[in-house]
Structure 1
Amino acid sequence: MNIVDGFEFETAKEAEQAKKELSGIRYIKQNTDMKDPDVVYKLYLRLNKPGTFSTPVGMAFLVELQEYLHTIPYIKNEEIRPIYVPKKQESRAQKKKTESYKKKYHVALFFTIVLTLVIVSMFTITYISGHAMYVVDYENEVIDKYENWQKELEEREKAVEEREKALDKTEAQNK
Structure 2
Amino acid sequence: MAADGKNGNDSYIVCGFDFMSENDAQKAEMDLSKIKVLQTRVKASRPNDIKAVYEKSIENKIFKTPIGWGYLYGLRDQLLQSGFTEDDLIPIPINVSMTRHSAMENLTVKQRIKPEKKNPEFGRIFPIVLNVVLAILVIVMFLIAASGENDNIINYKRNVTNRFSAWEQELTERERKVREAEKNLGIESPEGYYEDTESN
Q: TM-score, normalised by structure 1?
A: 0.51
2:75 to 65, 74, 78: 65
- Higher helix residue share: 1
Contact 1:50 1:86 in 2 (8 A): no
C-alpha separation between the residues in 2 aligned to 1:51 and 1:81?
13
Q: How does 1:89-108 map to 2 (within 5 A)?
A: none
Aligned length: 104
C-alpha displacement of 1:114: 4.3
Q: Could you list the per-position Cα deviations for residues 65-115 of structure 1 after superposition, in whole angstroms to 9, with x for gaps in the alignment?
A: 001111012x233111111111349xxxx9xx96xxx9xxx8x96xx4242
Which letter maps to 1:13? N
Match of 2:48 in 1: 38
SS at match of 1:113: coil
Match of 1:80 in 2: 89
Name the CA shift for 1:84/1:48 in 2 (closer, same or farther; >3 Å). same
Contact 1:50 1:84 in 2 (8 A): no
Give the gaps of 5 or more residues in structure 2. Answer: 1-10, 121-200
Give the gaps of 5 or more residues in structure 1. Answer: 120-175
C-alpha separation between the residues in 2 aligned to 1:58 and 1:66?
12
Between 1 and 2, higher relative CO (CA 8 Å, sep ≥ 6) is seen in: 1
C-alpha separation between the residues in 2 aligned to 1:38 and 1:4?
30
C-alpha separation between the residues in 1 aligned to 2:60 and 2:51?
17
SS at match of 1:48: helix
Q: How does 1:20-169 map to 2 (within 5 A)?
A: 20-49=30-59, 51-73=61-83, 75-88=84-97, 112-115=114-117, 117-118=118-119
Q: TM-score, normalised by structure 2?
A: 0.45
Runs of 4+ in 1 over 6 A off after TM superposition: none
SS at match of 1:8: strand
